[in-house]
Structure 1
Amino acid sequence: MPLYTYVISFKGSTHVAQSSHSNFRGFINWVESISNLSPALKQELAHKAYSGDFSAIENKKHVWKKSIEVGGSELIVHAIQTQP
């Protein structure tokens, strides 16, 4: 299974997580890497993280981006296939 690196930006902080899965969309382990989320915001994010879709980053291979509104602020997650 490929290794994916997730780079998450939220409220001026950047967080990084890695995990191996069959695809980068169906798993939200990266939520746990965000240290400045209250339990209520983590729960909100967990519900929203599966909706919507990632968009491919133009002119890049194996890099995708998703934006999610959490607690009235934008959270951006980039998924990068780090290893095949």
Structure 2
Amino acid sequence: MTQGSHSNFKGFIDAWCTNLPAGALPGLTPALHRDLARKAHLAEFPAIPNIKYAWRKSIDLAGSEFVVVAVQTQP
């Protein structure tokens, strides 16, 4: 889980993806981390239907699904 204050999702991507502490996600090798950072900036975060201020993004990482859910805590 990551928290930050950003004006848009592009800033949020850097908070949760680029700044992941080493060892935070077992199995996330340096190569997979680079792939995650690259793919995280592609496309958009679609809104989660019927939920306000929440978005979900699914990223394929070496055949496994990496899911990120963004929740805006200040409307």
Same fold (TM over 0.5): yes
Match of 1:21 in 2: 6
Matched, 1:35 2:25: yes
Shift of 1:35: 2.1
Give percent identity, aligned residues only. Answer: 49
- Matching residue of 1:4: none
How much has 1:52 moved relative to structure 2? 1.4
Count of residues paired in the alignment: 68
Give me the whole-angstrom Cα distance separating, in 1, the residues matched to 2:62 and 2:2. 21
Q: For 1:19 and 1:71, locate their aligned partners in 2 and report how far apart those are by CA, in whole Å.
A: 28
2:60 corresponds in structure 1 to 69
Q: CA deviation at 1:58?
A: 1.1
Query: How far 1:72 moved relative to its partner?
Result: 1.5
TM-score in terms of structure 2 length:
0.81
Tell me which protein shows more helix as a share of its residues. 2
- Structure 1, gaps ≥5 residues long: 1-15
What TM-score do you get using the length of structure 1 for normalisation? 0.73
Q: Please identify runs of 4+ aligned residues in structure 1 that moved more than 4 A.
A: none
Match of residue 49, structure 1, among 35, 40, 56 = 40
Which has the larger strand fraction? Answer: 1
Greater RCO, 1 or 2 (C-alpha within 8 Å, sep 6+): 1
